[in-house]
Amino acid sequence: MGGIDLDPAFVQSEEHRPKSKVVEASGIPVIDLAEGGNELVSKIRKACEEWGFFQVINHGVPSELSQRVEIEAKKFFELSLEEKKKVKRDEMNASGYHDAEHTKNVRDWKEVFDYFVQDNAPIPSSFIDPHDFGLTTLTNQWPQNPPHFRETMEEYGREVEKLALKLLERISLSLGLAGDKFHGCFKNQLSMLRLNYYPPCPFPDLALGVGRHKDSSALTVLAQDEVGGLQVKRKSDGEWIPVKPTPNALIINVGDILQVWSNDKYESVEHRVVVNTERERLSIPFFLFPAHHVMVKPVEELVNDQNPARYREYNYGKFAATRNRSDFKKRDVENIQIHHFRILD
């Protein structure tokens, strides 16, 4: 497997070291999707308001499929670096293999494989070239080995996509909206999955698996193995709370798009991943992204004189293109975030 080296400049940098206090607590809600009805909607509403995170069981994604995904993913990351780089992600190919050094995030101790749920989904050409204002398509890169890798990952993508859209329906209902309120946003969607492989790290005080961040998605559906490592910043006091792995559960979190749609009723919450000194770790997030043409703004039904819109609208395709280019070229300003579109605090 390809090695990951810590940049000497980073090792000397205090700001990235995971020194924040971590509270041992098990407050992240676990919700049984088999319940259904108003009780389920009520539990989802409470979890979104209080945490921005929750776990789900009886979610419908076959455990047998999840096991095959884990096996195939580990087979891929066990390949030689030369073999993995045959499907290397770059400015021209938004899917494929990359590691922390590839995108300048030397503080992140991991290797990654990205793929899109819908192959050949349209995206602004500025995703690749800022001077091109047409449309192009995003095409997945697939390795030849392992031989069953592609079919397994595509099958998993279809299953977790169905789950994410069902959850979005329940979340929409929890906001007092129609269940299908957001359905039209996901035709030709840009949703993607990421296979995260975290090797054992000999410098746990100097690195994170993933640094503190928020997700730019509408929703994220995360599968993590029994090793764990995910920590959520608790809204009530800012403490970091470890999310203890629950067998056969998936972790759901509110993303930036849902925060804007809900006009801040639901908040996208910071989270991070800590490294393990002895064991490798695998996690698989699914990011539910809309189509390129979708204009993201607070939902009209949630805006009134007493609760005015807190964001101006933005085009998701242009937003995604700007973020993608910043992965590969140093920018003079910070990566674009939803707070750049904020009108009111």
The full set of domain ranges for the chain reads 22-341
| CB-based contact 77:85 (threshold 8 Å) | no
Q: Using the structure block, give the residue that is written with the tokens 């997945």.
A: 140
Check residue 206 and give its pLDDT: 61
Check residue 104 and give its pLDDT: 44
Confidence class for position 10, pLDDT limits 50, 70, 90 = very low
pLDDT of residue 60 exceeding 60, the answer is yes
Q: Lowest-confidence range among 17-31, 150-164, 165-179, 251-265?
A: 17-31
Whole-structure pTM value? 0.88
Rounded to a whole number of angstroms, the CA Rg of the chain reads 19
Backbone angles phi, psi at 227, to 5 degrees: -70, -35
| CB-based contact 10:211 (threshold 8 Å) | no
Give bridge partners of residue 135 from the DSSP assignment.
Answer: 124
Exposure on the CB side of residue 91, measured as CA atoms within 13 A: 11
123 vs 330, more confident: 123
Check residue 292 and give its pLDDT: 93
CA distance 249 to 340: 34
Hey, what CATH topology would domain 22-341 get? Answer: Jelly Rolls (2.60.120)
Amino acid in position 15: E
pLDDT in tens, 91-112: 778 899 998 554 444 456 789 9
Find the DSSP H helices in the chain.
8-11, 37-50, 63-77, 81-84, 149-174, 256-261, 316-326
